[in-house]
Amino acid sequence: MDFKHFIWDFDGTLFDTYPHIARTFQICLKKEYLVSENISDIEREMRVSLQHAYDHYTEKYDLDAHFISRFNDMRVLQENANSLPFINSHMTCKFIYQQGLFNYLCTHRDKSAESMLQKYGFRELFTELVTEENGFPRKPAPDGLNYLINKYNMNRAEVLCIGDRALDLESARAAGVKFCLFTEKIGDTVNSEADFAVQNFSDLYYIISSTISAKAARNQGDDFADE
């Protein structure tokens, strides 16, 4: 299986943002509503999606638009100051780029994704970024993926999507492409449905490099056959 196009999610996949988002949300809840929520519970809800977390806590505390706006302003500041790429994520994207293959981003996040990619030297490694500003329906709708696939005339068999949530898996399946789950928990339901499941970028690098090595070996065999 030779992959040529790699479509990445952002939060929880390339960048370790969830702990900082959850902490900011916890602080805002305590300040605005005088309630204390367990940070692990907040992070679990946010790993489904931010909208899911908003809905969950709005049902509990009747969050208003002012709270969401204030939280988002604080979230951006905290992320810019504290969120870092996962270990070896830049190395993996750079390896893909150096092999003449292609990285793309497809995320619910706004233009802050580009700012963070630029800050840590990722931006030049990516062919295109699909963010909130593109206006596509949110995952699991496959519209963002299909936009990239169609624009760059990708063979769907050569596409690998990488994400950390069930929503990412469902979106990849709807687009008819393979999916790699980036997760801390090997063995759950989403793992079993993904084509690949990895716990770190070293494992993902191995999958990608093995694919490229296998292709190179076949090409070399073709060269020998022609002699």
**Amino acid in position 155:** N
For the cut 90, the answer to whether the pLDDT of residue 217 exceeds it is no
First to last CA, the chain: 26
E runs forming strands in 118-158? 126-130
Contact predicate 181/191, CB 8 Å: yes
For the cut 70, the answer to whether the pLDDT of residue 215 exceeds it is no
Dihedral (Cα; 128, 76, 55, 174), 10-degree rounding: 10
pLDDT digits (tens, 9 = 90+) for 125-175: 999 999 999 999 999 999 999 999 999 999 999 999 999 999 999 999 999
Average pLDDT on 179-204 reads 82
For the cut 70, the answer to whether the pLDDT of residue 223 exceeds it is no
Confidence of residue 110 (pLDDT cuts 50, 70, 90): confident
- Name the CATH superfamily housing domain 5-15+85-226: HAD superfamily/HAD-like (3.40.50.1000)
Give the domain 18-82 fold. DNA polymerase; domain 1 (1.10.150)
| Token code pair at residue 157 | 């068999």
For the cut 70, the answer to whether the pLDDT of residue 16 exceeds it is yes
- Beta strands 178-182 and 196-198 are parallel
What is the pLDDT, as a whole number, of residue 213? 58
Give the start-to-end residue ranges of the domains of the chain.
Answer: 5-15+85-226, 18-82
Contact predicate 131/114, CB 8 Å: yes
Task: Report percent pLDDT > 90 for the chain.
Answer: 74
Confidence of residue 185 (pLDDT cuts 50, 70, 90): low
